[in-house]
Structure 1
């Protein structure tokens, strides 16, 4: 299928006058039977990448999405097209048995093209069997960063996806996300078993977002700057705080100041979160004070600002969170109010220790079972919580001590290392992940403190390169950003070239700023090096 034919389908069935080049690249790969990974900003038409080719392929399209509310929005969008080839159904806990049967019958009869699933559905062997019988022609994995333990919103249920895809006979797979740095992209490709995918990473520079960062010497200064900014900004907006307690205290304090605000965090009941969410979406509440729990599925186009009152844990999280502003294309402002003490708090959160005895016991349990065990069985026998168990299973899978099967079951591979060796390897892998996590925090702090162009600095982290300054950050406005442009002209290695360090191993050059260069090393994460020192001592060589 040619680009012109895909454009025609997009026009006739969706009313879109044109498709972007990056959308077409991914679509053409899928039509040719290849996989695709698309990292595009919110509002850039990621869903179109599977929606346009889907009716042109012989079987139904499976769409994996983590949130029911998000699925409902996508189904409503397809239904609004009023085209018989774009009928969508859902199989989830929200539907009754008769509704699920009707949905399956519509898929079998060819009366429905799209079926939306949450990852939890893969735990049911009967459901997997039903989906396999439909002979799907395409699998779309939305919010694909959730599959990566390196990502900012890792979901253990996503670990089953690779096996699920194999069970279905390996139709073409398209993974979609708005945020994925190079380590996360590699993890997505590996965990989903993608084969030579067409990787599209573009458009992450949101020119309508004005980026600003301010260092605050103490907490009271930070609070006063926040209040002043909210008073001078048009609503609605989001304030991101680091903890549940900080969220509640800040919402209460703002309300006492005469600024109507509500709190939102994962510790609230589902009903409380739903009421806060709906009130904000309906413009009944001008300010939402939230932890990162207020995330996926927040599709509100008129958010005019996003303010952070603490350093985010990584540029991954930061880009995702500020991306909720200005989705209507109109100007929006994002402000980062940071203190030196923020790094200590974030390092505390990322300090995840692995208990060797716990890992060894889990590995031994899998080896002794003789048959695959479900997650529920493992939780009951080990006493581990769902998230902790998911983390340890992810580590064991990476070191060959566990294998995910269909239906959410887990077993020890035939040639698995001994429990003691598996625990040793898992501990080393966890330490590596923690090292990379801390390097991402260092990159976030570097973004907050830089005098260079913030747009270029942020995009370089994600593997994108701007030839000029972004023109929409505080450093561009005051003229300090222009000084960093000349540095790349005398660079020892081109941006995105592969290099090797004697101690840190293989890496990729991500960016230059002044006399500094940032390199992403596979083993130790992001490192900022002095260009003159690199040249003088020949610290790097071409890989």
Structure 2
């Protein structure tokens, strides 16, 4: 049966999108693959279709619980019953049952942390997998070194001599990140499909302000006058709350979203945004990965992104339907210093290295550093990983280099703020590519007119736009009582 026939049988499509066929054919030939496909280009089909051809389990390592759960739910909606997610949403009984019956599933989603658990490894070692997929593979480089070192161990865990092909998927990656992906996954001369990172329908704006309050006032004015749906990114959890409240008071249907919220609250707000009950989300960068909303019209960065890759990932959440969308980068004097501080604030320092050694010399567990309030859990994970990889002096050098890289990455974003030449060209060039064509209203430096891209906001006063989600739940429950 031809690939197109299989595509039509399981997914109802008559043709592949650019890159899908090439990636699938290489996997079917047994080759490792790195595929960079922009958001909305159908990365998941690249492993789902081989899963039906091989008819042996496909293991998908996924970075976020919400992303994992969303993918599982989507597959179940398309009548795929042999799919499971191994994550913290499972209670102990469900987890034991899932692991025990893992061989019965066609698609197995798992987090890097769960993958390292001994009982999971034992079960996987007893199974014959058809394919190993690392989704959002840029996280190996962007997150692994910083606060989830378990990403750097994926290749060690899965690197059996007779392992199946490994497929690494992402939307964006620099040459350095591509190198990290290949090295840390122990890939064997992988085939690389690199699609252009340029999204011509996303028009790039930027605004410069004297002070941060002036910037906030501009956001309030702009959002109340123009149409969403949209996402406003900011670095501070506190700011997500305060800015969303000010927008609420201005009559905009919005909610805050950040990593400190209860997971169920986050899930509910995310679903409200997807189904159109909320027009805007004010969020930290905890929001976005795995949010399948096609019609996001605007992405506004209130704070300076910590690096160009994050910026590209975040603006890529706009315009997945192919329609014109607007990404606006805002800057006020001193924003770069705040971004640098936030970037390195939770990093281990030399004193932590010395303390770690001291605990070991006293035959005490270094994890006591967390319990004694000496270091955060996130910083300890980074410290512990490198202390088991390198000598102490080398760990100090590594941590110093990582901090320097963080600060340099902020300066690269500042280049985008300061440039007088085409923002799109600079952005594409950062990822080692060449811009082929400039769309009309390309960017701020090319004469972008916002009114050509976004509509004026329609004021709708309807019960369905009620913002207080707790009140909405109460009303729903009353309706069922």
TM-score (norm 2): 0.83
1:449 and 2:418 matched: yes
- Structure-2 residue corresponding to 1:242: 235
- Structure-1 residue corresponding to 2:8: 11
Question: Quick one: which of 409, 432, 439 aligns to 2:401?
Answer: 432
**Cα distance, 1:242–1:431 mapped onto 2, change above 3 Å:** same
Tell me the distance in 2 between the aligned counterparts of 1:355 and 1:466. 41
- Structure-2 residue corresponding to 1:521: none
1:313 and 2:296 matched: no
2:238 partner SS: helix
> Deviations 1:79-123 (Å, cap 9, x if unpaired)?
34446xx83223333335664566456653xx5311111222224
Could you tell me how far 1:473 is from its partner in structure 2? Answer: 2.5
- Structure-1 residue corresponding to 2:381: 390
Tell me the distance in 1 between the aligned counterparts of 2:126 and 2:280. 48
- Structure-2 residue corresponding to 1:122: 115
1:76 and 2:45 matched: no
Could you tell me how far 1:261 is from its partner in structure 2? Answer: 2.6
User: In the alignment, is the contact (CA less than 8 A) between 1:54 and 1:60 conserved in 2?
Assistant: yes
How many residue pairs align between the two structures? 448
> Deviations 1:375-407 (Å, cap 9, x if unpaired)?
97896699643311221134345xx42xxxxxx
Tell me the distance in 2 between the aligned counterparts of 1:128 and 1:193. 18
Could you tell me how far 1:166 is from its partner in structure 2? Answer: 2.1
Structure 1 gaps of 5+ residues are: 402-421, 481-543
1:478 and 2:478 matched: no
**Cα distance, 1:367–1:468 mapped onto 2, change above 3 Å:** farther
Root-mean-square deviation (Å) = 3.1
> Deviations 1:440-491 (Å, cap 9, x if unpaired)?
21121111222222222111111221134344423464299xxxxxxxxxxx
Could you tell me how far 1:177 is from its partner in structure 2? Answer: 1.6
User: In the alignment, is the contact (CA less than 8 A) between 2:211 and 2:333 conserved in 1?
Assistant: no
1:59 and 2:56 matched: yes
Tell me the distance in 1 between the aligned counterparts of 2:357 and 2:142. 19
1:91 and 2:86 matched: yes
Could you tell me how far 1:44 is from its partner in structure 2? Answer: 0.8
1:254 and 2:247 matched: yes
Question: Quick one: which of 133, 144, 165 aligns to 2:126?
Answer: 133
Considering Cα pairs closer than 8 Å and 6+ residues apart, tell me whether 1 or 2 has the greater RCO.
2
1:148 partner SS: helix
Could you tell me how far 1:288 is from its partner in structure 2? Answer: 1.2
Larger fraction in strand: 1
Tell me the distance in 1 between the aligned counterparts of 2:148 and 2:96. 28
User: In the alignment, is the contact (CA less than 8 A) between 1:13 and 1:81 conserved in 2?
Assistant: no
User: 1:311-350 counterparts in 2 under 5 A?
Assistant: 311-350=304-343
TM-score (norm 1): 0.74
Could you tell me how far 1:299 is from its partner in structure 2? Answer: 1.8
User: In the alignment, is the contact (CA less than 8 A) between 1:456 and 1:470 conserved in 2?
Assistant: no
User: In the alignment, is the contact (CA less than 8 A) between 2:344 and 2:406 conserved in 1?
Assistant: no
> Deviations 1:510-532 (Å, cap 9, x if unpaired)?
xxxxxxxxxxxxxxxxxxxxxxx
**Cα distance, 1:196–1:316 mapped onto 2, change above 3 Å:** same
Tell me the distance in 2 between the aligned counterparts of 1:458 and 1:152. 24
Tell me the distance in 2 between the aligned counterparts of 1:93 and 1:43. 27
User: In the alignment, is the contact (CA less than 8 A) between 1:208 and 1:472 conserved in 2?
Assistant: no
